[in-house]
Amino acid sequence: MMDFAITKASALVEALGYIQRFHNKIVVVKVGGSIMDDEVVLSNILTDIVFMNYVGMQPILVHGGGKAINARMEQAGLTPQWVQGRRYTDERVLAIAEDVLCNSINRFIVNFIQAQGCEAMGLHSLSSGVLFAEKTYIQGEDGRRIDLGLVGEVKTVNARLLQLLVQADSIPCIASIARDPAGGSLNVNADTAAGAVAAAVKAEKLVIVSDTHGIRKNPKDPDSLMRSLHVSQIEEMVADKTITAGMLPKVEACIQALKAGTTKAHIIDGRIPHALLLEIYTEAGIGTEIIL
């Protein structure tokens, strides 16, 4: 019993240095992947974010919810259409995405945080929005533009509002639906949105929490996890196709934030209990950190 207590005290002492270092510093946390479908896992991550707020950090949460959108589409008799791995979004799909992200997932997150005694504010296209985007296209193999429908790329972020909220000890909770120049809504990639937010507020850290352990030297080998990488190494791994598919927007978001002044970016597996606290408040960490 005494050994356990000493070990626990040692962990707290180790955390103290990090608590002091990150006091009053903004940390952007993006939550996504299959952990959004597991209420217990999501609740654990949100508890970590509440802890961060209580010990003096200033967390900003950005979330997606792709699998929940797919489930709602299936209930409505709609089949998701994919274009080069990206969801085609028409008006019906956008209405479902907006309802799921803003009225369901975002509301759950805000209510959970408030129940823990912290202030939180939901920010999205159906309330006070902070993401502003323009319609985006992708390049086809023949060089032609490919239309993705009502999909956008974040161009500006209301950083001032976010800074005022965290200074007031409130946790901004941002759903990945943005406003377009005409006042309509656009679906945006949550990883990309988190990178834009971190860049806009000059966050100390960007932490992308998903259902992946981090970046592997060999994507098929769990033991090849790379603990620390420079942006130049990431760019080489993208060029040689080691990093592909769903990991691409994650590393692109990290690079965007780092080049705008963020000190470190992290990609971690939210299925590990208290993954967020372990990555931020311990020397070893559990995922991949990326530095400039």
The pLDDT averaged over each successive group of 10 residues in the chain (292 residues) is 69 81 94 88 95 96 88 91 81 95 95 97 92 90 86 96 97 96 94 97 95 86 90 93 87 96 94 89 85 92
pTM, to two decimals: 0.93
How many domains does the chain divide into? 1
User: Which residue has tokens 């597991």?
Assistant: 38
Does some domain include residue 173?
A: yes
Tokens of 134: 């323009």
**Count of beta carbons in the 10 Å neighbourhood of residue 38:** 15
Closest CA to 94 of 77, 74, 71, 73: 73
On whether the CB atoms of residues 110 and 61 are closer than 8 A, the answer is no
Please give the pLDDT value at position 4.
66
Does some domain include residue 30?
A: yes
Does some domain include residue 14?
A: no
Please give the pLDDT value at position 198.
98
Does some domain include residue 68?
A: yes
Domain that holds residue 37: 21-291
CATH number at residue 90: 3.40.1160.10
Beta-strand ranges (E) seen in the chain are 26-31, 58-63, 82-83, 86-87, 119-123, 131-139, 145-157, 170-175, 177-179, 185-187, 205-210, 228-230, 264-269, 288-291
What phi, psi does 227 have (nearest 5°)? Answer: -75, -35
* Cα→Cα distances 245→15, 73, 191, 238, 249, Å: 35, 23, 13, 10, 8
- Partner residues linked to 225 by β-bridges: 216
Does some domain include residue 272?
A: yes
Tokens of 41: 């896992």
Please give the pLDDT value at position 76.
92
Does some domain include residue 93?
A: yes
Does some domain include residue 5?
A: no
Please give the pLDDT value at position 9.
76
Does some domain include residue 16?
A: no
